[in-house]
């Protein structure tokens, strides 16, 4: 969902999260995450590495940006578009 449309009082499904559509929701389910509240305390870098292992594919780094955005949102911060996390990812030098 586009971050401008996200409402914390309506977080029932994964696609209620900022930047999450059906495809990313499927990736989260592959990681064992089925509800937004299950993202609390998750490390986006570990999620990305696990997804790469599970799919046996080097995922696009933008997937990590999305993971950064949703874990940040679930930590209580305002919803933001995923590309606002690109600099953070690049500075981490983990990918």
Burial (CB < 10 A; 0-12, 13-18, 19+), residue 57, is exposed
Q: Note the pLDDT tens digit of each residue in 2-18.
A: 888 999 999 999 999 99
- pLDDT for 55 equals 97
pTM across the whole model: 0.94
Which domains are present in the chain? 3-92 (1.10.150)
Q: Distance between CA atoms of 85 and 73, rounded to whole angstroms?
A: 12
């Amino acid at each position: 969902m586009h971050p401008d449309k996200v409402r914390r009082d309506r977080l029932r499904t994964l696609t209620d999260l900022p930047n999450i559509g059906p495809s990313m929701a499927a990736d989260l389910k592959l990681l064992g995450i089925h509800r937004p509240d299950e993202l609390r305390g998750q490390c986006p870098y570990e999620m990305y590495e696990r997804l790469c292992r599970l799919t046996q594919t080097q995922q696009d780094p933008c997937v990590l940006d999305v993971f950064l955005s949703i874990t940040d949102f679930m930590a209580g911060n305002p919803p933001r578009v995923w590309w606002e996390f690109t600099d953070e990812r690049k500075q981490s030098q983990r990918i």
